[in-house]
Amino acid sequence: MSHTRQFYINGQWVAPKGDKTLDVINPATEEVVATIALGNKEDVDLAVDAAREAFESYSQTSREERQALLGRVIEVFKKRMGDVAVAISQEMGAPAKLSQVAQAPSGLGHFATALEALKHFEFEEQIGTTQVVKEPIGVCGLITPWNWPMNQLTCKVAPALATGCTMVLKPSEVAPLSALLLAEILDEAGVPAGVFNLVNGDGPTVGAAMSAHPGIDMMSFTGSTGAGRQVMMNSAQTIKRVALELGGKSANILLDDVNFEKMVAHGVMSCMNNSGQSCNAPTRMLVPNSRMDEVAAIAETVVAKVKAGDPNAEDTVIGPVVSHAQFDKIQSLIQAGIDEGARLIAGGTGKPEGLDKGYFVKPTIFTHVTNEMTIARQEIFGPVLSIIGYEDEEDAIRIANDTNYGLSGYVSSADLDRARRVARRIRTGMVHLNGAPLDNKAPFGGYKESGIGREWGHYGFEDFLEVKSIFGYHPKQA
């Protein structure tokens, strides 16, 4: 990749103002796959200046012009899909199959969804004699994580482009390669100079400079709750809008009438997917106390088939976690589960047998977990499942809601009406019924410490828009 030591500012690849660099490590091999430049406040200033200048013209483009632009982006993205998949596997360790069928295509999906939403989105409405207008908010600061890198990049970039905003992006410095590819895609598609700008760097330097910058009108951040809190604090200096998509500790309620063989297996595999590095993963499985031993036996059988290993191997189910720091954090939390008395039925501390190199974690399951234990309270962000018992439906709802998070939830029942009823009482931004998949046309986001605002589909447009009332726009009726 030719632009790793450059930033994309004002339609050009430019040299950084400083000289700091960072190695990008392949977490499966622990080898350096690229070295990126790290930006500073001066780089952010240049990117913001370019975005502010471009906003004057881009904010005035027509719906049709932006539709045409998104269409070109989609066509170029299709051509580069293979490159994107390879980069994601290299930078964060996703198995090649997962990168090819989910990680890379998620980006294309968000651009296509934004294009369709733009065709029908109502930017204006009349209320009496007043015209209410939704206008692009301005320059947007975008900070994205490493776990689903292209997904998180595009669910911010696509609505910003669709609504007429300009932007400065700081991708995760741990997994920046797919973001550099996205910059190449947008450049080839003819995104006007200054509309999209990319500065690599770390959170305390580039992220903080963006959040506090008076030239940035809104911040959209995806990452940990702690880092999101810092973005809010920095952004408060200039009273800018902040949209946050943060952590989760999602409960997966299996009601007593489900097919346990099927839904326990589904829950285990959903938790292990992407090495457990998904904010909406069903990491707390809630089952009737009377069925705990049965559930444990099923889960133990299923997890035995979850092979961790080389992302390019055909039989690999999960790859490594993203970094040495993440590996260490997960190990300490697994040990906490053991120390606090949860029953370990699979996995545990250390690396899987035969994997001495790479940040691989054993697929781990605890049963007889109580909701007060550390592994039930903290977001582990690794392939670790906690199985918690409940007495009855009311107890299950109570346990599910007993968390600081509120991103997602899962409810399964043979009686769909019963599942619907329970879902309405779960205090989360999303609930999956009977294993239903995500829908990228529907809003994605959470309650409580899981964030502020919603992404995806036409709901994802709202945080990029300001609302203006023009009074007396229409003559009074005689």
Q: Name the residues annotated as catalytic.
A: 245
CA angle, residues 262, 268, 270, in degrees to nearest 5: 100
Calpha distance 364→327 (Å, rounded): 13
Q: What does the longest C-alpha to C-alpha distance in the chain come to?
A: 84
C-beta of residue 80 within 8 angstroms of C-beta of residue 181: yes
Q: Are strands 130-136 and 218-222 parallel, antiparallel or unpaired?
A: unpaired
Instruction: Let me know the angle formed at the C-alpha of 54 by 47 and 74, rounded to the nearest 5 degrees.
Output: 90
Residue with tokens 């900070």: 143
CB 35 within 8 A of CB 21: yes
Number of C-beta neighbours around residue 184 at 10 A: 18
Per-residue tokens: 151: 């997904």
Chain CA centroid to CA 237, Å: 26
Q: Which residue has the tokens 């945080």?
A: 463
Residues 6+ apart with CB under 8 A from 136: 55, 59, 163, 164, 165, 464, 465, 466
**CB of 278 closer than 8 Å to CB of 450:** no
388-391 contacts at long range (C-beta below 8 A, 24 or more positions apart): 388/284, 388/285, 388/286, 388/287, 389/286, 389/287, 389/288, 389/289, 389/292, 390/253, 390/286, 390/287, 390/288, 390/289, 391/288, 391/289
Check if the beta carbon of residue 140 is closer than 8 Å to that of residue 167.
yes
What is the signed CA dihedral for 430, 431, 436, 438, rounded to 10 degrees? 10
CA distance 452 to 247: 11
Any alpha helices (H) in 355-448, and if so which ranges?
374-377, 393-401, 416-423
For residue 398, give both structure tokens: 């109570």
> Other C-beta atoms within 10 Å of 42: how many?
12
Within 10 angstroms of residue 218's Cβ, the number of other Cβ atoms is 23
Instruction: Tell me the C-alpha distance between 176 and 57, whole Å.
Output: 29
Q: How many residues does the chain have?
A: 478
How far apart are the C-alpha atoms of 316 and 352, rounded to whole Å?
13
